[in-house]
Structure 1
Amino acid sequence: MAKSRDDELVFLPLGGSNEIGMNFNLYGFGPAHDRRWIVVDLGVTFGDQTTPGVEVILPDPTFIEDYADRVLGIVLTHAHEDHIGAVAWLWPRLRAPIYATPFTAFILREKLREADLLDEVEITEVPLGGRIELGPFTLDLITLTHSIPEPNGLAIKTPLGTILHTGDWKIDPDPLLGDVTDAAAIRKLGDEGVLAMVCDSTNVFVDGHAGSEADVREAMTALIGGLKGKVAVACFASNVARMDSVIRAAEAAGRRVCLAGRSMHRMAAAAKSVGLMQDIQPFLDDTEAKHLPENAVLYLCTGSQGEPRAALARIAEGTHPHVKLASGDSVVFSSRVIPGNEIPIRNLQNKLTERGVRLYTERDHPGIHVSGHPCRDELAEMYRWARPEIAVPTHGERRHLMEHAAFARDLQVPQQVTPRNGDLVRLAPGRAEVIDEVPAGRLFVDAGVLTPENGDALRERRHAAYNGMIAVSVALDGRSRIVSGPQVRVLGLPADGENALDDILDDLADEAEQALKRLKGEDRDLDDTIETMITRAVKKASQRIWGKRPVVETTVLRI
C-alpha cells in the first residue's frame, strides 16, 4: 500500500501500560481523520480488596468503539487471561474478525461458547509462523517462548515502518513443549530495520535469565519422588509445560494424576487438541482417585493464587467433595506470588498448615518455578537481535516502564517513549512522541453486569465496607405525625456490649425524631425532604459517636 503525505503510524495502549495485566493495544495507520486500526490482545485483570464483590475487570473500549467500523481485526498473541479474557465481554462492541493460533483459538471458543457468542464471532486460525494481511498492516507471527503454548510476537509491517510487538515472552533454550524462540526471524527483522519494539517489562528489575522449564522438570521430579502420602501440586493451569512436567514427575514416582479444577480440564483438552500431552497415562477421575493408595495419586490443582472458589481453596477449607488432605500429606506451590495476592495466598497456606499439610514453595525450593517473562539479560539479547529505533515499554507498572526505558537507553536505543493507558503515540513520521490523550479506564464485572469503574454501586459498597450502614424507618399518619418509630438498625458498627448498643440506637432514634420535628409547613408532607433531613441528622450523630459517616438509608411509611 502506498503512503500519502498525511499518513501516520500510531500506537495506543488502552490497557496494560502502567499496570501488569489487562492488555489492550491498538495500532493505527492513515491520516488522523481516517485511520484504520488493528487490536492486539483484549485481556482482563482481577479485583482485589479495593473492589469488593468484583472479581473481573476489563479495559474500557469506549474510544475505539466509536471507530468500530475501522477496526480491521483483533489479533491475539496467546491464551492467557490478561490477553484474551475480555474478548467475550467486549467483542459485541467491536464486532471485528479475530485471528489466533490453534491453541489460543481452542481456549477462546470455549469462552465464547459459554457467552453464547460462538456462532457470531469470526475466528481465523493462523498457523505458527503464519501471516495476516489487514489493510495497510501485514503481520508475521514470530514464535517465542513463554509459560503457555503458542506464544507469538508480531512483526507488524506498514508503509511507514515495522513494529515488533513482543507480547509476553522469555528466552528458554529448552521449553519442553513447543519450539524455541525464533531468534533467526528476529535478527532478520533487525537487518531489515525495526522502527519500534513494543516490549514486555515485567522482570526488568531482575538480573540474569528467567530460567528454563527443563530445570523445573528436573526439580519437580526430584521433589515429588521423595514425598509420601497424598500430594497436591498447584500451578497456573495455562502453563501446559508445567502441567506436563508435574504429570511426568508423578508417573516417575509411580503416581497417577487426577485433575482438580475446571481450568485444569480445559487446558488439558486444549493441549491435546494441538497434539501436546499425547504420551501420558489417562487422568484419573475423582472416584478412581479415592480408591487408590495415597502414595499412588497426585492431584494437579487450580488455586495457586488463593482464589476462593478454586480447587485448592476448597481443599484447604475441607469442603472439596472428593479431595481431603491431612497430616502427612503435601502441597507443592509451583508458581510465584502475583503482587496483590499475598494475603489470600498466606491465608490459604495457613489453612493447609492447620490441617497438618506440609508446604513446598519456590522460597524453600527455588527450582520448582521459573518466570515466563524476560529478565535483564534476555531483554538485552532481544534488543541486540531487533535493534529498534524506538523502545516502547509496556506490560508493567510505571516503575517498570521507566526502568525499561532507561535500560533501553543504556543499550543505545535512540528513542524511548513510555505511554500510559490512553496516550496516543505517533511512531512515524518524525520523532516518536505522545500526540494526544484519549479516554481510557476500566469496566467492572459486578454480578454479571458491566459497570463503570466509579459507578454508584461499588462506591457505596466501598463506603459501607469502611464505615458501616444504618437503616432508619418511621411510620407517619396522614398529618405527618409519628405512628411508629423511628426504628434504627446498624450493620458493621461497634458497641461495647448489648446495653451500650441499645443506648446508641436510642440516641440515633432521638436524633431522627428531632430532625422530623424541626420540619415546618409543607416540608412535613414531603417524604423525600423528611428522608433527607433524618439521614443528615443520623450521619452527624454517627460522626459524633464513632468518628465515621456510615451509609444511612431512611424509609418513610405512610399509614
Structure 2
Amino acid sequence: MAGERLVYLPLGGAGEVGMNMYLYGYGKPGKERFILVDAGVTFPDMDGTPGVDLIFPDIEWIADRAKQLDAIFITHAHEDHVGALGHLYGRLKAPVYARKFTAHIAALKMAEHGYDGSEITVVDKMPSQVQVGKFKVGFMPISHSIPESSGLVIDTPDGRVVHSGDFKIDLTPGVGEPFDPEAWAALAPVKALICDSTNVFSRHEGRSEATVGPNIVPLVREATGLVVATTFASNIARVKTLAQAGREAGRSICLMGRSMQRMVQAGTDTGVVKDFPPYILPEEARDVPRENLMILATGSQGERRAATAQLSRGKFLGISLREGDTVLFSSKTIPGNERSVGEIVNNFSELGVDVIDDKLADIHVSGHANRPDLEEMHRLLQPQILIPNHGEHRMLREHAKVGEANGIASVVAPNGTMVSLSGNRPEIVEFIETGRLYLDGSVQIGALDGVVRDRIRMALNGQAVIGILIDEDDEPLTDAWCELRGLPETGRSKAPLQDVLEEEVGQFLGRADAKTIADDDKLEEKIKRIVRQTSQNEIGKKPEVVVLISRLTA
C-alpha cells in the first residue's frame, strides 16, 4: 500500500554485546504494526553499576505503543536474548513464539514472575511460518552454543528479511542442529540481512565444537587430583563434551550450580540432549575420592556467588580444592569480566591449584561467526541490504565495511536508530531515545533516575550526615552533630574530621541571620557548602552531604 514502509529499530544489542532487543515494523509512519525479536539482559559491574542485579533495554518507546505490538519472537535461550522476558512482559503483553527448548527456558523465566506459560506458543522450524499481521515469521535452525538456536526468516510485503540471531557455521556442533548451507542458500536472494557481528575482527575460520573434546580428554586423564571445569551452563554441548571427557578418564561427574543442573535437565526434558553421561550431585561427590572426581561448575565469567568463585575462596558444599588439583576454564572471558575472573584465578594459584584456560590449551571455541563465516553467510543469502547487529559499535562499523566491500548496501544502526528497509538502500528515518533499565533488588529503575549515580558518587566521595535542631524561636537548640561514612577519621589539622565539621557548622549557625535560619532550603545549601569546602581543605575530597534539620513546634 502506498505510503507504508518496512522498518528496523534496535532497542538493545546494537552498539554493545548483550541486552538484545530488536523491533521490526510495517505500515504508515507512526502507525506501523510491530514484532519484537528477543528480550535480553546484560550484567552489571561494580565500577559502573554498583549494587545493580540486572540491566535491561529501556522499553518505554514500544511500551507506549504496546497496542501496536503483535508478537514477540525469541531466537534462542541465552540470557542476553531471553533473560528480560519475565521482567518486562507486563508492559508488552504480546504473544511469545519460540521453539521447544527455548520456550521451555522462557516459561521458567515467566513463571518467576507469576505467569503460567500460556503466553508462549511453541512453533516448529522452517518451512513452518507464523502469520502475524503483515509478517510471516519462520525459525531457521542455525548452529550456536546452545540448542535450537534459530535465525528468523521474516517475509514482508517489501521482501524477505533474515535476522541471523547468534550463529556460527558449525557442521558438527555436538548438541543442536548443524549448519545447513543448502537450506540457507535456498532462502536467497533476500531483501535484508540483519547479522551477528561479534567476531568480525577474527580473520581465521571458526572451529567446530567437535574439535574441543579431543583436547580436553588428555588434560583430564593426566590430572592427578580433583578436576574442576567451568563453562557457560547454557553451552550444553560443551557441558556434555566435558562430561564425556571426564567419564573417558574414569572419573565421576558432578554438576555444581543450579543453572548447570537446570540447563542439562531442560535439554533432557525437551529431547535436544541425548545420552548425557550419568552425573552425581554435590552431596554425593563428597564420598568420591578426589582423583576420581570431575566437577562441572558454573561461574566461568567470575560471578561472585557462582560455584567456581565459591570454590576459589575455600570450601563450597563440602568440597575444597588444594595443591595439585586442576581447574579448566573452557570458555572465553567476556570483555569487562577480566578483573573478576583474574581474581578467581589468583585465588586458585594461592591454593596451589593449576588453572588451564583457552590461552594455554585449545579447550574453547566461540559460538559466534568469524569474518570468513560472516562472508559465507553473505554469499549464501545474497542480501541487497546488510545491517550489522549484536556487537560493539566498532564491530558494527567493521562489518558494514565488509558488506560494502562486497557490494552490499550497508549501514551502521546502533540502538535507537530506525532504518527503513523499503528502498534499494537502507535509509535512517528517525532516532528515538533509548537507554537502560536497572533491576535494583526487586525494583526497576531508570538509568537517569539518579539512584545508581548517587551510589557511585557516595562510593567515590564518601558521605557526611549533618544534623541540627532548631527551637520554636528559630534558634539552634544544641550543637550540630556529624556522622561520617567512607571518609578518613582525621585530616591535615590532625584533629578528628567529625569534630572539625561540627565546629565549622556550629560557628556558621552562630553567625547566620534569622532569615537564613528560618529557611530550610537556604540553611541546607549553606551547610552543604561549608561541609564540602572544609572537607576539601582537610582531606582533599568533597563528600556527598545530607543535612537533617529538625524543628520544634510550640
TM-score computed with the length of structure 2 as normaliser: 0.96
* DSSP 3-state at the match of 1:508: helix
Which residue identity is paired with 1:398?
A: H
Which residue identity is paired with 1:254?
A: G
Correspondence 1:419 to 2:416: no
Correspondence 1:246 to 2:239: no
Task: Give the 5 Å matches for 1:405-554.
Answer: 405-413=400-408, 415-495=409-489, 502-554=495-547
Offset at residue 496 of structure 1 (A): 5.9
Correspondence 1:298 to 2:291: no
Correspondence 1:7 to 2:7: no
Unpaired segments ≥5 residues, structure 2? none
Which residue identity is paired with 2:288?
A: L
Structure-2 residue corresponding to 1:197: 193
Q: 2:389 aligns with which of 389, 394, 400?
A: 394
CA distance in 2, matches of 1:160, 1:224: 54
Offset at residue 425 of structure 1 (A): 0.2
Task: Give the 5 Å matches for 1:281-296.
Answer: 281-296=277-292
Which residue identity is paired with 2:331?
A: S
Distance 1:476 1:84, change over 3 A: same
* DSSP 3-state at the match of 2:421: strand
Distance 1:281 1:142, change over 3 A: closer
The answer (yes or no) to whether the contact 2:146–2:176 under 8 Å persists in 1 is no
Offset at residue 346 of structure 1 (A): 0.5
CA distance in 2, matches of 1:423, 1:461: 31
Offset at residue 428 of structure 1 (A): 0.2
Structure-2 residue corresponding to 1:383: 378
Structure-2 residue corresponding to 1:46: 43
Q: Deviations along 1:458-508, whole A, 9 cap, x unmatched? A: 1110111111111112234333444433222222223568x9664432221
Which residue identity is paired with 1:406?
A: K
* DSSP 3-state at the match of 1:53: coil
CA distance in 2, matches of 1:303, 1:183: 34
CA distance in 2, matches of 1:373, 1:98: 25
The answer (yes or no) to whether the contact 1:516–1:533 under 8 Å persists in 2 is no
Distance 1:474 1:521, change over 3 A: closer
CA distance in 2, matches of 1:550, 1:104: 48
Mean Cα deviation higher: 325-334 or 122-131: 122-131
Which residue identity is paired with 1:509?
A: E
Mean Cα deviation higher: 224-233 or 526-535: 526-535
Offset at residue 523 of structure 1 (A): 3.1
* DSSP 3-state at the match of 1:139: strand
TM-score computed with the length of structure 1 as normaliser: 0.95
Distance 1:328 1:553, change over 3 A: same
Which residue identity is paired with 2:23?
A: L
The answer (yes or no) to whether the contact 1:495–1:501 under 8 Å persists in 2 is no
CA distance in 2, matches of 1:194, 1:97: 27
Q: 1:220 aligns with which of 213, 216, 226?
A: 216
The answer (yes or no) to whether the contact 1:516–1:530 under 8 Å persists in 2 is no
Structure-1 residue corresponding to 2:350: 354
* DSSP 3-state at the match of 2:148: coil
CA distance in 2, matches of 1:518, 1:44: 55
Q: 1:35 aligns with which of 32, 36, 39?
A: 32
Q: Deviations along 1:388-407, whole A, 9 cap, x unmatched? A: 01110011111111100111
Correspondence 1:73 to 2:65: no
Unpaired segments ≥5 residues, structure 1? none
Offset at residue 127 of structure 1 (A): 2.0
Offset at residue 281 of structure 1 (A): 4.0
* DSSP 3-state at the match of 2:367: coil
Percent identity for Structure 1 against Structure 2: 39
The answer (yes or no) to whether the contact 1:208–1:378 under 8 Å persists in 2 is no
Q: 2:157 aligns with which of 152, 159, 165?
A: 159
Mean Cα deviation higher: 536-545 or 266-275: 536-545
Mean Cα deviation higher: 536-545 or 447-456: 536-545
Structure-1 residue corresponding to 2:233: 237
CA distance in 1, matches of 2:60, 2:455: 25
| Structure 1: 4+ residue segments shifted above 4 A | none
* DSSP 3-state at the match of 1:484: coil
Structure-2 residue corresponding to 1:132: 130
Which residue identity is paired with 1:44?
A: V
